[in-house]
Structure 1
């Protein structure tokens, strides 16, 4: 028991001595220095960057050339684009792959009664298209032709056919004056709306300022306007259509008046016949429509 007590005392003394001689341990602070990244390994020089960009652009160009499709096809040109067909016909490509004017297969359906027309056979048609379609059928020997005489059918006037009163002698005598007034008023209205070529506008201005040119300029303007299909220094019955058809239902004297203008009965009206018919008396009417543009610059 003594020995056990002695051993405990010696052990306690030893522990106390050891603790008194041991210095307190300080925790050494470790400063962690980040190792610099080798910039030289990741950073490229400016010349190298431009070189890389050039290489990329070259690759893009090569890929573009590989994928680019070169179109060597010849642009399509419609053969009918320069073909002008007469009324009642349209242009189509035939079996020889050539443009050709053929009869209109079907005219647009018209529901407006104002679109109706009266033919020279005193027949009412649903539209002018139907009249000229029928004429085309007969010209080409189509089975849809109603008869040989329909080769010469045409629009007499707009609107349904109706009985026209006779033009009296007094009305016929006064008609040239009313016709002159109408031509000048139309010319003036078109000039005001800038719907006339410049040389005709100047002719109208001259007529406004010079009463002696009032009727003459209006007559020459309309005659040149009508003489265009073809321009052969005469106006045919067909070329009179823009005057005859719209006015027929309003002026029942227009048809006999225009017939009286054709003095030599050759179915064409020369400028001299036209002006005399309108009651315009001048010595020289040797006017060339194509020269008016130069004269009235």
Structure 2
């Protein structure tokens, strides 16, 4: 809301010809209170209509600069008192809420169990700029535990289960997507054919031989799910490469159940540059080079 005061100096009759002491000065004060919308002037003043227009704004309490300021995990917003601007600073791990139970525990790549993801990211932030902090990542959900070594034979089986799982995730989303909030229209068109064919191989536990045979026989049905998962992960930023952080939403829940997860994704990074390109990702899942299509990463 704004308050506008218009002051008009009205000189009576032939005032300009009269002595200054005899000037009749009328002071007209108009107070206009109006609700305004962005981009609209609350008072339309024609040029020359008034000698002077004075705008006075009411004083309202200043909005907290941190209200709409986003900080990454491990940091909190504080106000820089010198210029009243928001800034992100590392959170004190002791300020994190106490874990409600062991299910909130997470394991770091330092093989240390943290009470919660809040405690982990606050600790990582405090190590920012150090070699230790650069290497520290959230490894998986749950307390740290012994994970068996992934041998070559097990590693070769991993993509079989992963491909089938990705396909089933998409089919489930398609079945439940009544309001178009889970899949876009373009995605639904692609999944429609998969959905129609997947009934042959009902979701559930299947032998590795059956999964391998189905992949060979129905290869085209698996191309889009592999591209879709890459697009879902490539978000921060969406640049055509997956970082360790971007992989975390997929890796972290899988590692406790699939002990080959870490080795699989490490070896997907064929050039060992710490980034997994779409071409590397597709190759890991057995997608042929000629079938890699960036337009499928919707």
- Normalised by the length of structure 1, the TM-score is 0.67
Cα RMSD after superposing both structures = 2.7
Do 2:120 and 2:138's aligned partners in 1 also have CA atoms closer than 8 Å? yes
SS at match of 1:283: helix
Matching of residues 83-102 of structure 1 within 5 Å: 83-95=69-81, 96-102=83-89
Against the structure 1 CA distance between its residues 89 and 288, is the aligned structure 2 distance closer, same or farther, given a 3 Å change threshold?
farther
User: Are positions 1:103 and 2:128 aligned together?
Assistant: no
User: Are positions 1:80 and 2:66 aligned together?
Assistant: yes
SS at match of 1:90: strand
- Which position in structure 1 is the counterpart of 2:229? 222
1:233-292: CA deviations, max 9, x gaps? Answer: 1111111001110000000011100111100111111111111100111414241467x4
Matching of residues 273-292 of structure 1 within 5 Å: 273-288=280-295, 292=298
- Which position in structure 1 is the counterpart of 2:211? none
Do 2:111 and 2:144's aligned partners in 1 also have CA atoms closer than 8 Å? yes
Q: What displacement does 1:154 show? A: 1.9
Give structure 2 stretches of 5+ with no counterpart: 1-30, 35-55, 198-217
Distance across 2 between alignment mates of 1:282 and 1:205: 24
Question: Of Structure 1 and Structure 2, which has the larger fraction of its residues in strand?
Answer: 2
Against the structure 1 CA distance between its residues 201 and 76, is the aligned structure 2 distance closer, same or farther, given a 3 Å change threshold?
farther
Q: What displacement does 1:148 show? A: 5.7
- Which position in structure 1 is the counterpart of 2:238? 231
- Normalised by the length of structure 2, the TM-score is 0.67
Number of residue pairs the alignment of both structures matches: 220
1:47-74: CA deviations, max 9, x gaps? Answer: xxxxxxxxxxxxxxxxxx9xx9x98345
SS at match of 1:99: strand
- Based on CA coordinates, which of the two structures has the bigger radius of gyration? 1
Question: Of Structure 1 and Structure 2, which has the larger fraction of its residues in helix?
Answer: 1
Do 1:85 and 1:101's aligned partners in 2 also have CA atoms closer than 8 Å? yes
Matching of residues 1-297 of structure 1 within 5 Å: 72-73=58-59, 76-95=62-81, 96-105=83-92, 106-139=95-128, 149-194=132-177, 195-209=182-196, 211-288=218-295, 292=298
Distance across 1 between alignment mates of 2:192 and 2:62: 47
1:211-230: CA deviations, max 9, x gaps? Answer: 44321110111000110100
Give structure 1 stretches of 5+ with no counterpart: 1-64, 141-146, 293-297
Distance across 2 between alignment mates of 1:73 and 1:212: 67
Against the structure 1 CA distance between its residues 193 and 109, is the aligned structure 2 distance closer, same or farther, given a 3 Å change threshold?
same
Distance across 1 between alignment mates of 2:187 and 2:235: 15
Distance across 1 between alignment mates of 2:112 and 2:128: 19
SS at match of 1:240: helix
- Which position in structure 2 is the counterpart of 1:23? none
Do 1:207 and 1:217's aligned partners in 2 also have CA atoms closer than 8 Å? no
Distance across 2 between alignment mates of 1:99 and 1:131: 24
Do 1:216 and 1:280's aligned partners in 2 also have CA atoms closer than 8 Å? yes
SS at match of 1:214: helix
